[in-house]
Amino acid sequence: MTQVNFITQTYTHRSADVSVCRTLNMYPEGVGNDSKGATKTNIILIGTPGTEVSTDLSSLTDKGCRGLHTTATGRLFGVWGGSLIEIKADKTAIKIADVSDLEDNPVEFADDGVSLLFVDGFSLRGYNLKTGSLSNPTLWDDSYKPKHIQYLAARFIIVDGTSNQYYWSNIANGYSWPALNFASAERSADNILNIKVTNNELWLIGPRSYEIHSISPNPDRPYVFAAGSSNDVGCAAEFSLSSIGDNVFWLGGSTAGTNSVYVSNGYRASRISTHAIEFEIDKLPTTGDGRAFTYQEEGHMFYILSFPIGGKTFVYDLATAMWHERSTRDSNFNTFNVWSPKYATNAFNETYVGNETSNVLELKLDKYEEWDGRPIVRIHQSPIYWNENNLNFHKEFQVDMETGVGINAGQGSEPKLMMEFSDDSGHTWSSEYWTEIGAIGNYGARARFRRLGKARFRVYRVTISDPIKIVFTGAKIITEKGIR
């Protein structure tokens, strides 16, 4: 059998004759760099995590999550509907306050270990982490409606997204906002859509540009423009801005065009989207609704970019510099939708996420279904296999994968792999072929398919929906050369 290139990122090109590779609810992991020759392959595919209910909040709220935050002191808070809720390490939850006068928008948080401040594009609210009191900080203008908030160098910083000015609180006092505590983006006249603090610097990003302000010793101007930090790459979706470590990610926009994805590289912006990802984003009905969050797991740093109206979620992995897709299946219509989680934070050594339900969820790599029992459908489409335009007989196709990992009872006790193939670069597909991949303990099972006809160009698509552990390590093909 011939080992073929099988493990790829999502790369569905504008021309199907180039590539129709797709990786859905699985992600590539490079295992060659740190294995020192201990592995049989350098790259594998791993199933994305499932979700499980950590805390049921239905007795406190019947609304979905609007924001999550872990404080500097390790406490976990979130807003579900109009309720500010704290989740404890033992997974119990208490309702801190009714904040139903907030708008139905995403909620962003910042804290200094004493005060937890949060905004939603309508008002600024504060919660004292020591006394447990809730109050409204006094702004210089009652009509100002802050939308984004950050904390840097003992001051809170807010913007409303409608001007090129940002405002900061008095030092060590998030409840005091003098009228003269403001500055402007200096290198461009476009509005500041969003802000992000990373590496002890403040990123100001607008629709056509960004610039970075650094900490200053001047108490009257605590942040100043960092020389050489301006760039004519802006943001096409304000809630696509997210960060992890020293990296800032966003969906880019400028006078030259939109819908490329960028990550910070020092003060520079490095394009990380491929032409194929940009083609997929361009096809969406709108991109302004793009929203994003980041999280880290087992050395992977994921940037999750979702488009709710278009129903697509694209994920970039900083560890491999590769893209994959995620989706939550709509059980009513049997369709793929945007991935359900909207917000994420790490607390108590777990990754917590919030979605449209009144639950606190956890991401779990060893959970193989959604929190409500829905299966996670995983799909991988291979590169195009061809041999100098020869007509080849495909005698056998085998997926190298971990087998014998079925569960004790129910769906997944006799897991199956489904396969289709296309001989016209993914325009049309064959009927499904099924093969057993081993009940629990049957580690010798092989996922293989035989007598698969002839083709000059062949793409294989494999699908699995059983709630089992998924690890693909490659694929092999037996072909017999036919006529030209």
Going through 358-423 in order, the beta strands assigned E by DSSP cover 359-364, 378-381, 385-386, 392-401, 416-422
Q: What is the pLDDT of the chain when averaged over all its residues? A: 95
Rounded to the nearest angstrom, the gap between the alpha carbon of residue 397 and the centroid of all alpha carbons in its chain is 33
- 388 in the same domain as 323: no
| Residues 30 and 125 reside in one and the same domain | no
Do 441 and 470 fall within a single domain?
Answer: yes
CATH code for the domain in which residue 390 is found? 2.60.120.260
Bridge partners (DSSP) of residue 109 are 118
- Calculate mean pLDDT across residues 339-355: 98
- Confidence at residue 310, expressed as pLDDT on a 0 to 100 scale: 97
Kindly report the CATH number assigned to the domain that includes residue 295.
Answer: 2.130.10.10
Distance CA 323, CA 313 (A): 11
Q: Total structural domains in the chain?
A: 2
Q: Please give the C-alpha separations between residue 166 and each of 120, 157, 231, in angstroms, as whole numbers.
A: 16, 7, 18
Per the document, the length of the chain is 484
Task: Summarize the chain as % helix, strand, coil (round to 5).
Answer: 0, 50, 50
- pTM as predicted: 0.96
Q: What local confidence, expressed as pLDDT, does residue 484 receive? A: 60
State pLDDT tens for residues 54-104.
999 999 999 999 999 999 999 999 999 999 999 999 999 999 999 988 888
Q: Are residues 44 and 54 in the same domain?
A: no
Residues 450 and 308 in one domain: no
The pLDDT value recorded for residue 33 is 65
Query: Alpha-carbon distance 484 to 481, whole Å?
Result: 9
**Does a structural domain hold residue 68?**
yes
Residue with tokens 């129903």: 311
pLDDT at 332 over 70: yes
Asked whether residue 371 is assigned to any structural domain, the reply reads: no
CA proximity to 16, closest of 273, 393, 381: 381
Query: What pLDDT does residue 189 have?
Result: 83
Instruction: Indicate the pLDDT class of residue 43, thresholds 50, 70 and 90.
Output: very high
Least Cα distance to 477 among 19, 454, 439 occurs for: 454
For residue 116, the one-letter residue type is: L
How many angstroms separate the Cα of 188 from the Cα of each of 209, 261, 284?
A: 7, 21, 29
The verdict on 339 and 383 lying in the same domain is no
Tell me the pLDDT band of 150, cut-offs 50, 70 and 90. very high
d(CA 383, CA 460): 8
Amino acid of residue 104: D
Contacts of 36 (CB under 8 A, 6+ apart): none
Render pLDDT for 289-306 as a digit per residue (tens, 0 to 9).
Answer: 999 999 999 999 999 999
Query: Would the pLDDT of 401 be above 80?
Result: yes
Which domain, by its residues, includes 33? Answer: 2-48+378-481
Using one digit for the tens of pLDDT, what is the confidence trace for 204-250?
999 999 999 999 999 999 999 999 999 999 999 999 999 999 999 99
Name the residue among 263, 273, 311, 271 with its Cα closest to residue 289.
311
Residue where one domain finishes, among candidates 335, 364, 393: 364
pLDDT at 307: 98
Tokens for 61, please give them: 């709220």
For 278, phi then psi, to 5°, come to -65, -35
